[in-house]
Every structure is written in structure tokens, then in C-alpha cells.
Amino acid sequence: MRHGWPWFGPDAGVALDEVRQAGATDIVTALHEAPIGTAWTDAAVAERKNLIETTAPGRTPLTWSVVESIPVPDAVKRQGRAAKADIEAWIASMQAVAKADIKIICYNFMPVVDWCRTELDFETATGSTAMRFDQQKFAVFELCILRRPGAERDYTPAERQAADSLLRSMSAQGTEALITNIASALPGSTTEPLTIPAFRDKLEPYGGIDAARLRQHLIEFLEVATPAAEALGVTLTLHPDDPPRPLFGLPRIASTAADYDAIFTSVPSPANGMCYCTGSLGVRADNDLQAIARRFAPRIAFAHLRSTKREADPRSFHEAAHLEGDVDMVSVLRELLTEDRKRSPGRSIVFRPDHGQRMIGDFGRTSAPGYPVVGRLRGLAELRGVIAAL
């Protein structure tokens, strides 16, 4: 497998030499500054590639091998094939990426909000801090702040009452932080930062779109995008929903093995691949991670490796250290390595240590939430240790 590292550009606090020192050889990044829905240009992709791959004499080369992500605009999720201009722009971005010889593209199909957390600095038992999804705080956001029409139907009277009293006990600062964490788009996010009124406006046109419709729209998107990808030798990898269940009354359709099975059956193209993310899929106790890796092994081009820990209310979870929590990382890596050994070197699975807790020197330096340098270094080191042993 190839050892990747998500890098958010020269101003995001991690130097390329630090990536080398961590042991990674592959960079995972995107033109994060490009507005969602605009076509990336060959020149912009080439410039970023140059920045990453121009190597001082004697230094270990780095390769930009995965684009994560080309965001799929909401119009495609709402209209499918009818969002013609958006799909064409997406394909133009893919063509620019392929021209730079980058053959793996990650994307997701979560409506309105990409990955979602309620807390960024939850203190763990070691004093390191982790990202957390607290179902009770999420309920406060949805019921009392966003006041989503119909949300009350998703909660019991006791849950609604608990949300009211939790809100009353929260400081103004705590409430602000909750809004920012949920609405303002976390790093790498493929959805836009939103104010509360804009959030309501984005939800509204999804009325009437259920899981079957959303899945149909993904299939229509793939029916257009995969022939183009095949022609370019590109694999598209669908990232699972994070967390893997419907949020905000919106359907989510990449949460389980059955979801992926439906997508691969409908669009069997070899360019229709999977981003196998243990942290996202692992939040559901009914997702058997090892079985999913084995079942979809030939489709996995890219892997996000991290662990989560479900809490007393299993809808709540926090991000555990990479070898702790609910994910059996050794078994997962055994599956991935078994698949990887069957492949030619050019088709090797790229993995990245996904997220990390903030620890040691991370407290003294700025980093994108979820992406501290020391915490990720620990994660990568542990994963590399398991891989070496296996």
C-alpha cells in the first residue's frame, strides 16, 4: 500500500518535509480554494502538483496521487442527470486532474453537510483532545437553533425536553461554537459554510427527496462520469457518509454494505470505486468492517484509516487513537494487504491516517481541526507498525 498524508497547502501549518519525516510518500489534496461547482483548470492543477512534487536534491520525492475531493454540487444530488452543467464542470475538473497523472479521485454524496462534529476539542483520558459527535448537542442544534421544520418528529418528548434544558445550560460561547462546528464546514469539506438562514434555505429544496431518489441521482451522475473516468484511467472513490446515518431529515445513501452493493450493481464500471473509511463506517455497530473490506476489496482504491469510540448513547462517538476504539484495525489492515498483494504496483491502494487527536506539540501550533501534525504522526506510525508486522 502507499502511505498518504492529507495536506491542505503551504499555509495550513504542515511543511512537506514534515510529511516526509512522518514516513508518507503520497499527498492527498485538492484545489480547496476553488469554488464548488467550477471547473478546475489544467494550469491550476499543474501548479499545485509542481509545488508538491518539486523536490530539492537529496530529498525523498512526494507524489500527489489522490485528489480528495472534487465536490459534487447539491444540484447534482437534487436533480441527478438533469444538473447537466454541474456534471460537465465536474468532469472537466476530473480531466484536468487526469492530465496531471493523478488517477484516484475521492468524492461523496452527502446532501448539504459533509462530515459533521459537535465538538473539536473533547478532552480524552490522556489529556489529548479529539473530535466528537454528541447526539444531545446535535439535538440542541437541530431542534433549538436551526429549528428545522419537522425535526420534532425525529425526537421523543423526553429528548426534546433534554435539548431545551441543555441549551439553557450552555454559555453563549458554547452555543456559538456548536453553530460554527456544524454549519461552517470542517476542513476538506465538500459543502459550503452556512449561516443558519442559509442552512434552512439549503434544506428546503430537498423536500420530497428520499433515499431512493438520492441513490438514483448518484447512479445517474456515475452513468455519465464513469465512462469519462474509464477513458482517462481514473478511479472514482465514493467516501462513506460521516456519520453513517441520515442527518437533518436528509437521506444518506453510502452508509452500509447494502448501500455500496446497490451502487456497484447499478454501475458496474471498474471506475466506480470505494474510499474505504473505517472511521465513518465504523460508527455503526452493524457495519462489519472486515467483511466490507473483503467484499468490496477490488473496488477499494483509497482508504481512510482511523477509529471511533461509541459512547453510552451509541449515536454519540468520539475519535479514538488509531489502534483503539471500536475498529479492529489489525484485521482491517490484513484484508487490505491481502488485496494489495494481488495488484500491480501502479494499482496499489493508497491509505491515509485519517484525522488525529491533538497532543504534545500540537497544542502550541495551529492546525486544521482534525488534522494536527503530531496526532497524525502517531496514527501513521502505528499503522505503519502494524503493516510492517503483517
Which residues are catalytically annotated?
A: 239, 277, 304, 354-355, 371
The piece of 7-15, 58-66, 105-113, 161-169 that touches ligand DNO (CB under 6 A) is 105-113
> Closest CB to ligand DNO among 143 and 379?
379
Which segments within 246-345 are labelled E, that is strand?
A: 272-277, 300-305, 307-310, 317-320
C-alpha cell at 188: 476538506
Q: 30 vs 143, which CB is nearer to ligand DNO?
A: 30
Determine if 189 is a binding residue for ligand DNO (CB under 6 A). yes
Output 93 or 189, the one with its CB closest to ligand DNO.
Answer: 189
Residue 333 Cβ, how far from ligand DNO at the closest point, in Å? 19
Cα distance between residue 212 and residue 259, in whole Å = 11
Q: What character string, x for contact with ligand DNO (CB under 6 A) and - otherwise, covers 329-368?
A: --------------------------x-------------
Interacting span for ligand DNO (CB under 6 A) from 158-166, 176-184, 185-193, 378-386: 185-193
- Tell how far CA 122 is from the center of its chain: 20
Between 111 and 370, whose beta carbon lies closer to ligand DNO?
370
Q: Which of residues 49 and 352 has its CB atom nearest to ligand DNO in the complex?
A: 352
Helix (H, G, I), strand (E, B) or coil at 244: coil
CA-based torsion, 232, 5, 237, 77: positive or negative: negative
Contact between 106 and ligand DNO per CB under 6 A = yes
**Which of residues 29, 93, 129, 190 is near ligand DNO by CB under 6 A?**
190
Smallest gap, in angstroms, from Cβ of residue 72 to ligand DNO? 8
Euclidean distance between CA atoms 116 and 241, whole angstroms: 10
* Closer to ligand DNO by Cβ: residue 69 or 95: 69
- Position among 370, 372, 375, 379 found at the interface with ligand DNO (CB under 6 A): 370
Which of 346-381 are b and which e, b meaning 16 or more Cβ less than 10 Å from the residue's Cβ?
A: eebbbbbbbbbbbbeebeeeebebbbbbbbbbbbbe
Pick one of 37, 73, 188, 379: the residue that binds ligand DNO (CB under 6 A): 188
User: 269-328: which residues touch ligand DNO (CB under 6 A)?
Assistant: 304
Which of 117, 239, 299, 322: binder of ligand DNO (CB under 6 A)? 239
Q: Are 369 and 131 in contact (CB under 8 A)?
A: yes
Tell me which amino acid residue 28 is.
Answer: V
By C-beta, is 107 or 221 nearer to ligand DNO?
107
Residues in the chain: 390
Rounded to a whole number of angstroms, the minimum distance from the CB of residue 108 to ligand DNO is 4
Instruction: Please state whether beta strands 235-238 and 272-277 pair in parallel, antiparallel, or not at all (unpaired).
Output: parallel
How far apart are CB 350 and ligand DNO at their closest, in Å?
A: 13
Segment contacting ligand DNO by CB under 6 A, of 44-52, 124-132, 152-160, 187-195: 187-195
Rounded to a whole number of angstroms, the minimum distance from the CB of residue 133 to ligand DNO is 13
Beta strands in the chain (DSSP E): 2-6, 26-29, 63-68, 104-107, 119-123, 129-133, 235-238, 272-277, 300-305, 307-310, 317-320, 350-353
Q: Which residue stretch of 182-190, 195-203, 228-236, 332-340 sits at the interface with ligand DNO (rule: CB under 6 A)?
A: 182-190
| Binding to ligand DNO in span 49-88, by CB under 6 A | 68-69
Compare residues 282 and 370 and give the one whose CB is closer to ligand DNO. 370
Nearest to 304 by CA among 273, 325, 281: 281
CA angle in degrees (0–180, nearest 5) for 72-77-82:
100
Using CB under 6 A as the binding rule, whether residue 379 contacts ligand DNO is answered as: no
Residue 359 beta carbon to ligand DNO: minimum distance, rounded to whole angstroms? 18
Phi, psi of 65 (to 5 degrees): -110, -15
Question: Any residues with CB less than 8 A from the CB of 57 and at least 6 apart, and which?
Answer: none
CA dist., res. 138 & res. 117, Å (int): 8
Contacts with ligand DNO by CB under 6 A lie at 68-69, 106-108, 114-115, 188-190, 239, 304, 355, 370
